[in-house]
């Protein structure tokens, strides 16, 4: 069977990845990816470079973004694929979404100070590629570099998450706004890594239904933070709600990330094996 290696989710230095858009394109290409998307958090600054690098290598480029959303008091990520990255309302909406990050980072630093971790804001800034996009990942890298934790997994088990030092709640974009910006910019909205949310099944049903009513089209089935069981769970969700299934590594860095670009199980193979008639986003 002819299969297509699509990777529709990853991050560059323009958000919280460590590679340039060009280095990511080369890595994706070397790993056999033929359809690729760079989906930086709340930022479109890497799109032009990613598109050029991908097309120079003969890959099909799908423009992308991952929007931070607050829904039912939790953070949910919505990927937008095939967006016009010059669309004014999308650009303005993302600017607004990024806007509170610096103050949040200072508040996170103040919290870490209370448990004896000094100058975390300045430390995190050393890892930041885009001053408008300081994220928890940059703090995590600082906590590893300064010897507080052995790796970023240890950081996200003990710090920067709800109930642990360094966590500061934040109000991101509304689900309605995020899906509307994506749709108005000509893109498809996709629910990112659904296995990571801590909602009840009733809340999940509500999220999927609302997302669908707003015109949301897809859901990630195969992604770096899902287990093989979760591939099955979310393939069923896609069928049940009529969503297109997507595959993306969510790659950030060669050492930190559990899944490299283009190396996760193939969506088509997975679905054919399960004899599921599931439409997917990948071609
Ligand atoms: P922020 O947008 O500043 O809240 O940062 C979110 C980013 O932190 C995510 O995109 C991931 O890159 C990273 N992150 C969050 N939780 C984890 C986790 N459990 N393990 C590894 N990285 C995580
Ligand atoms: Mn990230
Ligand atoms: Mn995400
Ligand atoms: Mn991501």
pLDDT at 234 over 60: yes
Q: Are 77 and 40 in contact (CB under 8 A)?
A: no
Q: Which residue has the higher pLDDT, 277 or 184?
A: 184
H or E segment and range at residue 188:
strand 188-191
The helix (run of H) or strand (run of E) holding residue 136 is helix 136-145
- Which of left, alpha, beta for 163 (phi over 0: left; psi -120 to 50: alpha)? left
pLDDT at 276 over 70: no
Using CA atoms, how far residue 3 sits from 35, 235, 271, in Å, is: 12, 18, 12
Ligand 3 centroid distance, CA of 215 (Å): 20
The residue whose CA has the least distance to atom 18 of ligand 1 is 156
Q: What is the Cα–Cα distance from 34 to 54, expressed in whole angstroms? A: 9
b/e for 178-216, b at 16 or more Cβ within 10 A?
bbbbbbebebbbbbbbbebbebeeeeeeebbeebbebeb
How far apart are the C-alpha atoms of 15 and 39, rounded to whole Å?
Answer: 9
Rounded distance, CA 65 to CA 10, Å?
Answer: 9
Give me the domains of the chain, ranges plus CATH numbers.
Answer: 6-98+172-277 (3.20.20.140), 101-158 (1.10.150.650)
Ligand 1 mutation pick, 135, 154, 170, 251, max ligand atoms within 8 A of CB: 135
Please, what sign has the CA dihedral across residues 226, 231, 237, 239?
positive
- Rounded to whole angstroms, how far apart are CA atoms 213 and 183? 13
pLDDT of 282 strictly over 70? no
Ligand 1 mutation pick, 9, 13, 16, 223, max ligand atoms within 8 A of CB: 16
Rg (C-alpha) for the chain, rounded Å, is 18
What strand order describes the sheet that includes 35-36?
6-7, 35-36, 60-61
For 257-279, b/e burial (b = at least 16 CB within 10 A) is bebbbbebebbbebbeeeeeebe
Residue of the nearest CA to atom 13 in ligand 1? 137
pLDDT in tens, 37-57: 999 999 999 999 999 999 999
For residue 283, name the pLDDT band (cuts at 50, 70, 90): very low
Confidence of residue 3 (pLDDT cuts 50, 70, 90): confident
pLDDT at 267: 84
Q: Is the dihedral of CA 184, 188, 192, 195 positive or negative?
A: positive
Task: Say how many C-beta atoms besides its own lie within 10 A of residue 127's C-beta.
Answer: 19
Q: Which of 262, 261, 226 is nearest to 19 (CA)?
A: 261
Q: Is 41 in the pocket of ligand 1 (CB under 6 A)?
A: yes
Closest residue CA from atom 9 of ligand 1: 137
Taking ligand 3, which is a single-atom ion, which protein residues have CB atoms under 5 Å away?
77, 192
Of 41, 280, 17, whose CA–CA distance to 178 is shortest?
41
Ligand 1 close to Cβ of residue 9 (< 6 A) = no
For residue 153, how far is the Cα from the chain centroid?
17
> From the CA of 149, how far away is ligand 4's center (Å)?
22
Average confidence score pLDDT of the chain: 95
Task: Output 282 or 196, whichever has higher pLDDT.
Answer: 196
**Of 149, 132, 58, 45, which Cα lies nearest the Cα of 96?**
132
Residue 1's pLDDT band, with cuts at 50, 70 and 90, is: low
């Amino acid at each position: 069977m002819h299969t297509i290696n699509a990777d529709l989710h990853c991050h560059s230095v323009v958000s919280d990845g460590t590679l340039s858009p060009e280095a990511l394109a080369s890595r994706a290409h070397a790993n056999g990816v033929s359809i690729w998307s760079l989906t930086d958090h709340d930022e479109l600054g890497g799109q032009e470079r990613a598109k050029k690098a991908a097309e120079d290598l003969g890959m099909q480029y799908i423009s992308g973004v991952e929007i931070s959303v607050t829904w039912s008091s939790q953070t949910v990520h919505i990927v937008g694929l095939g967006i016009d990255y010059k669309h004014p309302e999308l650009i303005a909406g993302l600017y607004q979404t990024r806007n509170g990050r610096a103050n949040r980072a200072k508040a996170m630093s103040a919290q870490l100070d209370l448990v004896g971790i000094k100058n975390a804001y300045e430390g995190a800034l050393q890892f930041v590629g885009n001053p408008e996009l300081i994220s928890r990942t940059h703090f995590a890298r600082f906590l590893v570099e300064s010897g507080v934790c052995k790796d970023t997994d240890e950081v996200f088990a003990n710090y920067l998450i709800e109930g642990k030092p360094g966590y500061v709640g934040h109000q991101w974009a509304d689900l309605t706004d995020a899906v509307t910006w994506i749709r108005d910019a000509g893109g498809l909205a996709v629910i990112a890594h659904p296995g990571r949310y801590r909602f009840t099944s009733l809340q999940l049903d509500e999220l999927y239904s609302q997302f669908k009513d707003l015109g949301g089209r897809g859901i990630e089935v195969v992604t770096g933070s899902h287990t093989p069981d979760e591939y099955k769970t979310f393939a069923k969700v896609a069928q049940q709600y009529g969503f297109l299934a997507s595959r993306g590594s969510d790659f950030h860095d060669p050492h930190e990330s559990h899944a490299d670009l283009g190396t996760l199980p193939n969506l088509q193979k997975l679905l054919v094996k399960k004899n599921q008639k599931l439409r997917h986003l990948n071609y």
